[in-house]
Amino acid sequence: MLSTNEPGTTSWPWRAFLIAFALSFAVLAAWSVASPHMASPDEPAHAVKAAATVRGQFHADETQYRAGRGDFQVPELFAQAWSQPCYAFHPDVTAGCSPQVTGELDKIVAATSHVARYNPIYYAWIGIPTLFPLSEHTFTAMRLMSALLNAALVGLTFAVLVRLRRPLLPIAGTLAALTPMTFFIGGSMTPQGPEVFGSMLTAVALLAIVFDPRGALLAQRAWMLLAGATFFVLARGLSPAYLAFTVVVVILVAPSLATVGSVIKDRRFRWPLILCASVSVAALAYTLSSGSLALGVVYPDPSLTARDVVVGMLRNTDYYLEQILGVFGWGDTHLPMWLLILVGGVAVFVGVFGLALGGARGRLVLFGILAASIVVPILAQVMSYKDSGMVWQGKYVLPIAMLAPLVAGFLAERQEAVSFALGSRLLRVLACVFGAYETIAIVVNIHRYINGANGPWLELVPGAWHPTAPAWLTVLLVATACVGATVAIARFSSRLTLLNEFGATELRTADSSNG
């Protein structure tokens, strides 16, 4: 487990990285294997794009389609991906309806993807398993490649967190940001995974730099910032705009603008900053030059007006919030209301601490983040509704919405109004609640595919789906990982409290020597 060395020694962050990486990968891998093929929206399109990318096809034949949608020449397996989600939008239909993958799976055929213009970086990574002998398990292997990348980003996030002077409430804010929806996304084939987890690492690294500006840690945090920002901005077309919003929020909430200025001028921050800017410019240039914001699948409605869009999206605010917390499958697998309240309650709990202890400027920023989570989707939809219709989903705004609990945790901890002992107890309780609802969420998801959303819990229905790995084993894996995370957090927070109570002088000396 975590070392008893002081915060600031090199053993803490990398041990934290390994623990967080292993535990998060276990949960993400469980989501990957506990869902049927193509259980996430647009996974068939992402699978086709990935298979094409690793075979050197970066442009689709769009002659018969609207911009952003086109045909790639890929193995037959990926053309069959489109027949797999026969249960989509039908919550009472089990995944047993999916046809068997058959035929000459490596025969090259035309297959359609409506993400034809998306940035190829992510697809080159998850497409690697498609270069090996093909079978239905290729889809699962592609998901696991995505889970591996996302788990690494989670691990780096916690490596930053454990080196904070006062890490307890920032860790609580991070747990609140990791809703069941983020794990569902992270275990699927979608570039939104690295966008979500990359945005989390980016925000935490930036907040750590301005709230705990120790010079000895600046270089390490700067390189982790570069890692998060790279995967963040290269993921999707809107990601550079989300990154810009994150930077503005951090600057506004920073305890001292002088600290921000000194960090920018510090030579240890120079190269990571230059590389971050270069990657962001490259991502923006790709988006503009490729037209990757073009929607390959649309639902136009000529009767829609801008007023209809605004009113409709405001009325659907509760559903968009539900999607941020956890709506799985093709938007047809819902968590029970009591569980949604529990998941949202953790974020509200951390948010109240941030509002109470964050000062006037901090409170304004938090309310600004909440307002942006509502306003930004409306603006984006108003700009595109004539071509696309109403296609916005709540999960699209996760990189902005996640900032609320992350910022709240840093704001609350900075005031030192909560003692280490009380903060430790609060964090341990939140970790237990976090582990419980993450485990229950995957149980709800598995049940939906085996027996249907309204099917029985204690017996199999006709046509029940049988997952690749036994359901009980998958749930056990998630439960074990969640218990492991709770124990790791409890031991870390308890030892940090002991160090503060019995070694406060040594801690202050160590902090002073680290700048």
Q: Report pLDDT for 7.
A: 46
Q: What is the mean pLDDT of residues 6-22?
A: 74
Query: From the CB of residue 407, how many other CB atoms can be counted at a distance below 10 Å?
Result: 29
DSSP per-residue string spanning 254-301: -S-HHHHHHHHH-HHHHHHHHHHHHHHHHHHHHHHHHTTTS-SS----
More confident residue, 507 or 50: 50
Rg (CA), the chain: 23
- Give the whole-angstrom CA distance, residue 163 versus residue 421: 18
Q: And the tokens for 3? A: 């070392």
Confirm if 20 and 157 have CB atoms less than 8 A apart. yes
| pLDDT(514) > 80 | no
- List residues bridging with 333 in a β-sheet: 328
Cβ neighbors of 51 (< 8 A, separation 6 or more) are 72, 74, 75, 77, 78, 111, 127, 130
| pLDDT(336) > 90 | yes
Selection from 229, 253, 225, 254 nearest residue 243 by Cα? 229
**365-374 pLDDT per residue, tens:** 999 999 999 9
| pLDDT(382) > 70 | yes
Beta pairing, strands 327-328 & 108-113: unpaired
Q: And the tokens for 225? A: 């910032």
Handedness of CA 109, 115, 120, 122 (dihedral sign): negative
Residue tagged 């600057």 (tokens): 251
| pLDDT(403) > 90 | yes
**68-96 pLDDT per residue, tens:** 899 999 999 999 999 999 999 999 999 99
Confirm if 131 and 125 have CB atoms less than 8 A apart. no
More confident residue, 14 or 447: 447
Q: What is the mean pLDDT of residues 439-461?
A: 94
Cβ neighbors of 289 (< 8 A, separation 6 or more) are none
Q: How confident is the model at residue 511 (pLDDT cuts 50, 70, 90)?
A: very low
Q: Report pLDDT for 419.
A: 83
DSSP per-residue string spanning 141-201: HHHHHHHHHHHHHHHHHHHHHTTSSS-HHHHHHHHHH--HHHHHHHTSS-THHHHHHHHHH
- Give the whole-angstrom CA distance, residue 63 versus residue 110: 13
**246-266 pLDDT per residue, tens:** 999 999 999 988 989 999 999
Q: Cα 460 vs. chain centroid, distance in angstroms?
A: 33
Averaged confidence pLDDT in the chain:
90
**77-96 burial code (b ≥16 CB/10 A, e <16):** bbbbbbebbebbeebebbbb
